[in-house]
Amino acid sequence: MSKNKDPHYAVKVEQAIAEKYGIETVQNPKANWSPEKEKEYLEQLKKLSQKENKTKEKTEKIEVDGFFINKKLINKKNKRKCEFCNTYSFNLKDDVYFNKFDCCYDCYVKWIEHREERWNSGWRPNNK
Could you tell me if 70 and 15 lie in one domain?
Answer: yes
- pLDDT of amino acid 120: 86
Closest C-alpha among 117, 118, 114, 97 to residue 106 = 97
What are the average pLDDT values for consecutive 10-residue runs of the chain, which has 128 residues?
75 93 88 91 96 85 79 66 82 82 87 87 76
- pLDDT of amino acid 56: 84
DSSP string, 64-126: ETTEEEEHHHHHSPP--B-TTT--B---HHHHHHHHHHSS-HHHIIIIITT-HHHHHTT--GG
- pLDDT of amino acid 78: 61
- pLDDT of amino acid 42: 95
Over the stretch 75-94, which tens digit does the pLDDT of each residue have? 556 667 888 888 887 788 88
- pLDDT of amino acid 86: 83
Q: How far is CA 19 from CA 4, 15, 22, 73, 76, in A?
A: 25, 6, 6, 56, 59
Could you tell me if 101 and 67 lie in one domain?
Answer: no
- pLDDT of amino acid 19: 94
C-alpha span between 13 and 66 (Å, rounded): 60
Could you tell me if 108 and 61 lie in one domain?
Answer: no
Residue 18 located in a structural domain = yes
- pLDDT of amino acid 75: 55
What total of structural domains would you count in the chain? 2
Could you tell me if 64 and 107 lie in one domain?
Answer: no
Which structural domain range is residue 100 located in? 92-127
- pLDDT of amino acid 38: 93
Could you tell me if 13 and 68 lie in one domain?
Answer: yes
Could you tell me if 96 and 70 lie in one domain?
Answer: no
